[in-house]
Structures are given as structure tokens and as C-alpha cells.
Amino acid sequence: MAVGGFAVDGPVGGFNGKITISVVITCIVAASSGLIFGYDIGISGGVTTMAPFLKKFFPSVLRKASEAKTNMYCAYDSQVLTAFTSSLYIAGLFSSLVASRLTTKLGRKNTMVLGGCTFLAGAAMNGGAANIAMLILGRILLGFGVGFTNQATPVYLSEVAPPKWRGAFNTGFQFFIGIGVVSANVINYATAKHSWGWRLSLGLAIVPAAIMTIGALLISDTPSSLVERGKLEQARKSLIKVRGIDTNVDAELAELIKSSEVAKAAQEEPFVTIFEKQYRPHLVMSIAIPFFQQVTGINIIAFYAPVLFQSVGFGSNSSLIAAIILGLVNLASILVSTGVVDRYGRRFLFIFGGTQMFICQVAVACVLAATTGVSGTKHISKGYAIVVLVLMCIYAAGFGWSWGPLSWLIPSEIFPMKIRPAGQSLSVAVNFATTFVLSQTFLTMLCHFKYGTFLFYAGWIALMTFFVVFFLPETRGIPLDSMYQVWEKHWYWRRFVQGKL
């Protein structure tokens, strides 16, 4: 296997493990934490197109959307409306930073449970909201829940999965995000015609929250987390459970204990340590990868897919169906990633997916420019609206097998144990911060940039694909405690880490 231009023959450290029934069940249960994030992504965009919801909370938006002469790009431009969506992400930003200490002190599992309970409370408040203040407060609680689970779950999966199949197991988190998105879109379609439909859509978020919370209570914590908290006997039992009862886990346990002792002996503040020179590549990746994931535009398109499709010529019901189709394509492509990520590696999927997304974004911009005019006042025909949908589906497929799952995988596997929770927290915080800015500005950007919005995202996709080509080493199959070698052998990053990690 090539790693940063150097050959590495198989996993280093010898702790390869094997796929057992226990590790599969454990990882599926843990990955189900993605349900709550996906459900929220999918539900908010559909709810904001429901007339009863807009009539109760955003009547000015409903009036603007009903005006026949309104610029198609500007119908839903409302800062209060976008605050309903984006408030979750500013809350998630703060909670993800707090989650670093929680995952260290309480463990990965308990942090996931806490996130599920907080999300459940937010879902109940949103479903029973009587005013905008209750809506926003509910969204903030949802944000805290998502912040906790998004920080803890990818780390959990990377620490439990055998190194050889770590990529496949970690994509499970993105797969459940996809399931959540599709489920939310289907529910929105079923409830859209009813005056109380928006309450049911928002309130049903308690279902995925309950599923993942109960599931998290039933699984054990990761061996790394148990060692970190001094629970060595439980760590041994956890290792035997996930690696198989006939596997000798002594060497792997000893390596975990050694890494933990080194981290504790240093007595360093993780959020200070991560800024040291030898961790420069880790810091850059923890910021760049989640930032680039969001400037692909995928989550913004997922939030506002019904709004977007309604803007480009679909009716209300047709726009919700289009959003379901988009979600199903994304879900199927995540399965493709699961099957090939540990065979062809991370870099190949990043580059291939990035190229695919770039072409589709440019094509969407060209179609909209040609059919709606510079002003955006021309009505797009149904045929061209379908072309836009097809292009967006190809784009979603490219994201689903590249930047979707891999942006959670890479930050969760590159950090040494002593800064792993801090690194993952920083990564999730950057993700939420970028999402907040983009979601708060997307509808205004769509109104002013019009079709140029898609060229804006295409430019970022081109930049981040070049970044992967030159700066991201291959991490396929490398045990977590041997990950230092990919930096030492990389043409650029070795100047920071050689002889220091």
C-alpha cells in the first residue's frame, strides 16, 4: 500500500483483529447516532415549505413565496427563517468543544447517551412549539445533542473497529445520517398536506433519539476510553468482546495502556498540545477536512432541497419527492463507499468524488443561467427542472462515496490518544461553525448570486480536491497507534513531525 509516496506492507503493530458479530452489532448501534443528525438535516428544509408552518411563524415568507412575479431565487430569503435552521449549528459548535472533556471523563458511550437525551428534549419542544422563541430554543437543545453525538461517535467507531476495516465501519455513521435524511423527507411528504403536519414532522425526531439512546445504553465503551479512565479489566473484556474470544488481546491492551500512560505523564492540556509544531498536520486536517466538507454545499442543499427544487420549477409535492430521490441516491452511494474505502483507500475516493461534484455544480449553474436568465425571473420548464434534479443526484452520489463519510473518518483516525478527543471536538466545531455561516447566508446568497451560487461551491470543490492531491496522506489499514508513520513519510508534513511523535 502506498502511504504518502512510500510503501507500507499491511497494518503496522499487528493488531488487525477480525470482524465478529459483536463488533458488527456494536458499531451498528453506535453508528445509529447519525440518525438524529440526518433526521434534523432532512426535516428542517421540508418543514419550511409547509404553508401551515410558514403561516404560523413566518407569514411574510409565505406572502413572498405566493407572489407570481417574485424572483425565483429570492422567494424564501428571510434571516429569521434561516435562523430556525442555523441556530442548531451554533449550539452544536459550543457543545462539541465541551464534549471533548466529557468523552475523556465520562467516556464515548456516556457522551452519546447524553446527546440522545438532550436531542429528545429539543424534539419534544419543537413539536409543541407555540412561538418562534420555543422553536429556536428547541433547535438549540437539538444542537447540543448533535454536538455531543457527532463528537463521540466517529471516535468510538474508529477505536472499536479492526484497523483493516476501520473505513467501512466508520462510514456507518454517514450511512445512518443518510437514513435519517431520507426518513425525514418521506415524513415531510406524508404530512405536508395537513395543518398539523409540521408538528408531527418536528416531534417525530424523538423516535431516532430514543432508538440511539437506548442502543447506546446497551453497548460497552471502547477499550481506549476504558484504559484512559483506569478501567483496565473492563477494557480487556471489551477488547475480547469486539476482537473475538479466541483472539489474544494482551499485546493490543498493552499498547493502549502504554499510550495512555504517555499521555497522562505529559500532563498537558490537549487544546494547547494540538497547537504544537509536531501536531501541525493533525491541526490542519482537523480544520481543513470539515471546512471543505461543508463548502461542497451538500448540507445546505440537503437543508433547502425542497425550497431549491420548488424554486427551480417543481410544485410543492414534487419538490418533496425530488428531495426524497436526492436522499436515496446519497444513501446508495454511501454503501458504495463502505465497500471500497478499505480497498482503494481514502485519497482515491476523495479525488474521484471531488471531480464528480465539481462537474455537476458547474453544469447546474450553466443550466440555470441558460433557462432562468441573469435576473432569475424566467420560469424554468419542467424538462430542465428534471435535468437539474439529475445533475444534483449525480452530485449527491459523488459526495456520498467521498466527502460525506470520509470527512468523519479522517479526523477520527489521525490523532494520537492524548489529543484524540480534543482533535475530534475541534473538527466537529469547525464543521458546525461553517455550517452555521453557510446555512444562515445560503438563501440570501441564492437571492443575490442566483445561479452563481453553484459556481461558488464549485470553486471550493476544485480547491479542496487539489488539497487532497498534495497534502492528504493515505491512512488505509494503519492501526491508530501507528498512524504517526504517514506523517513522517509524507513529502511536506515530515518536516514538522520527523523524530517528534
**429, 93 Cβ separation under 8 angstroms:** yes
**141, 40 Cβ separation under 8 angstroms:** no
- Per DSSP, 194 falls in state S
Distance from C-alpha of 226 to C-alpha of 256, rounded to nearest angstrom: 10
Distance from C-alpha of 116 to C-alpha of 144, rounded to nearest angstrom: 9
In a domain, 468, yes or no: yes
In a domain, 458, yes or no: yes
Residue of 297, 43, 30 lying closest to 174 (CA atoms): 30
Q: Which domain holds residue 469?
A: 21-219+268-497
In a domain, 442, yes or no: yes
Q: At residue 325, what is the residue type?
A: I
Distance from C-alpha of 159 to C-alpha of 26, rounded to nearest angstrom: 12
Q: Above 90 in pLDDT, residue 209? A: yes
Task: Give the CATH number for residue 107.
Answer: 1.20.1250.20
In a domain, 257, yes or no: no
Confidence at residue 378, expressed as pLDDT on a 0 to 100 scale: 60
Three-class secondary structure of residue 399 per DSSP: helix
How long, in residues, is the chain? 501
Confidence at residue 379, expressed as pLDDT on a 0 to 100 scale: 64
Distance from C-alpha of 72 to C-alpha of 90, rounded to nearest angstrom: 29
Distance from C-alpha of 493 to C-alpha of 484, rounded to nearest angstrom: 11
pLDDT in tens, 100-111: 888 888 999 999
In a domain, 260, yes or no: no
Confidence at residue 256, expressed as pLDDT on a 0 to 100 scale: 86
pLDDT > 70 fraction of the chain, expressed in percent and rounded: 85
In a domain, 231, yes or no: no
Q: Above 90 in pLDDT, residue 141? A: yes
Query: How many domains would you assign to the chain?
Result: 1
- Per DSSP, 500 falls in state T
Confidence at residue 12, expressed as pLDDT on a 0 to 100 scale: 34
Q: Above 50 in pLDDT, residue 1? A: no
Confidence at residue 16, expressed as pLDDT on a 0 to 100 scale: 52
pLDDT in tens, 228-258: 898 999 988 888 888 776 667 788 888 888 8
Confidence at residue 7, expressed as pLDDT on a 0 to 100 scale: 33
Q: Above 60 in pLDDT, residue 468? A: yes
Confidence at residue 336, expressed as pLDDT on a 0 to 100 scale: 92
In a domain, 1, yes or no: no
In a domain, 478, yes or no: yes
What is the mean predicted confidence (pLDDT) over 356-385?
79
Q: At residue 250, what is the residue type?
A: D
Q: Above 80 in pLDDT, residue 333? A: yes
What is the mean predicted confidence (pLDDT) over 130-153?
91
Question: Who contacts 194 (Cβ-Cβ below 8 Å, separation ≥6)?
Answer: 52, 200
